[in-house]
Each structure stands twice: as structure tokens, then as C-alpha cells.
Amino acid sequence: MIAPLAHGGELTVAVASNFIKPIEAIAPAFTAATGHQMRASTGSTGKLYAQIQRSAPFDVFLSADEDRPMRLEDEGLGVQGSRLVYAIGRLVLWSAKDAQHISPDVLRSPDGGRVAIANPKTAPYGTAAAAVIAALGFTNTLKPRLVQGENIGQTFQFVATGNAAYGFVAWSQVSQNGQFIRGSGWRVPADMHPPIRQAAIVLSRAKDNPAAHDFMRFLQSDAARRIIRQHGYDTE
């Protein structure tokens, strides 16, 4: 339990694009519980990581993988011992059309339309999507139909706007309480790609910022975990 402060502090959180909706729900709950004010800056994990290396004014980093927070800790840019896994992401092959039967077979036909994935070099959900495509044996056959989003948010937009027929997006983007809220999809079995373990870390510039450390504790609270699970993630 974190006691609310009469005059709370402030922090800026760098948030991976896939976690926009949960952070919008977590922010007011965090303020109500602690009195602290939180601002979020979103982007692909790779881009945010590069900005942190260039001294961007972030206090906490919510990555879409474990690798970048570990690197920041090794590089002296993250506070030792503050790193934790806050969510485990799930991947879905998604169509914006309702009531469709979606299976991996839609990737097989050369006339099946374009398929969007996030950039595997900068976005962990893109790395996972590339692993699934390889596991299905479609890496070469699908290449002419692939379009890449800079991050998972842009990938979702490609499909939502009809610029791609299908896309590998985060389950959290298209679901609420375990159900599709729009479109149709195939939930990718978790064993078809490396686990999408999303880690957070307090950045070195915020090592003496109580709001940053309170935020990390709040992420592990029952209230925050409930929000995270409602938005389509697993928690440890």
C-alpha cells in the first residue's frame, strides 16, 4: 500500500506503443493512490531506448521486451535492482473485419492482401511476428506482401484503415476482458515465438525521485495488475 501524498511528485514514463491503453488507465489510478502526477511519452521500444541513450528526460522506461532495460542497467543508465517484468504480451493475427474465420492459412495465398508487422529490428512484437512467420514456413513466400510499421501502434493502424488486410498486432490492442472488441483474429500460440516479457526500469536520472520508485511499486499492486490483465496481458 502506498500512502497518498498531500503534495505529490511528478515523473515522465517512456512507454512502448503497445501499452498505450493500459497506461491511460493506470495513470489516474496511480495518481489517486499516491498523489503523484505521471506523464507518458510513447514510441517503439527501440526508438525510446535510443532516446534514453541520448539523455532524453524520462524517469521510468516501460519496454516491450526485457533486453533493453537489461542493457540500460549494464550501461549505467538504469538503477540497479529496479528492473521488473510488469506484463507478458500476446500476439494475434488480426483483421479489422468482424465475424471472419482467421487462421494461418490467410498468409499462404498470394492473393490474400498485404500483411502488416512491426519492424522486427526495433519492436519486440515485430520480432515475435517474424518468428511466427518463420515457424509457419512463410518467410520467403510472404515477403512480397509484408508492410512494416515503425511500431505496433502504426502496424495496428495499417490494418484498421484497410492499408493491410491482416496484421500481427498485440492482443491488448483489439481485446477487452478476453474478448475481441473489434475485428477478428487468430490468437498466436505462445510457444510459437519467444515470450514477450515486458520489463520496466527506473532510469538513473530518477534514482532519487520518490515518484519513480512509487510508480514501480504501484505496477506490482493488485490494482495495476488487474488493469494490465483486463487489457489482454498476462502477469507473473
Per-chain mean pLDDT for the chain:
93
pLDDT score for 162: 96
Average pLDDT over residues 182-186: 95
Q: 76 in helix, strand or coil?
A: coil
Residue 54 has pLDDT above 80, yes or no: yes
Contacts of 170 (CB under 8 A, 6+ apart): 18, 89, 90, 91, 92, 125, 152, 156, 232
Average pLDDT over residues 27-45: 95
| pLDDT confidence tier of residue 70, bands split at 50, 70 and 90 | very high
Average pLDDT over residues 138-167: 95
Residue 200 has pLDDT above 70, yes or no: yes
The percent of residues above 70 in pLDDT, for the chain, comes to: 97
* Of 64, 82, 77, the residue nearest 16 (C-alpha): 64
> What's the chain's Rg over C-alpha atoms?
18
Report d(CA 195, CA 24) in Å as an integer: 24
Residue 95 has pLDDT above 80, yes or no: yes
pLDDT score for 11: 97
Instruction: Give the position of cell 512484437.
Output: 125
Average pLDDT over residues 157-178: 94
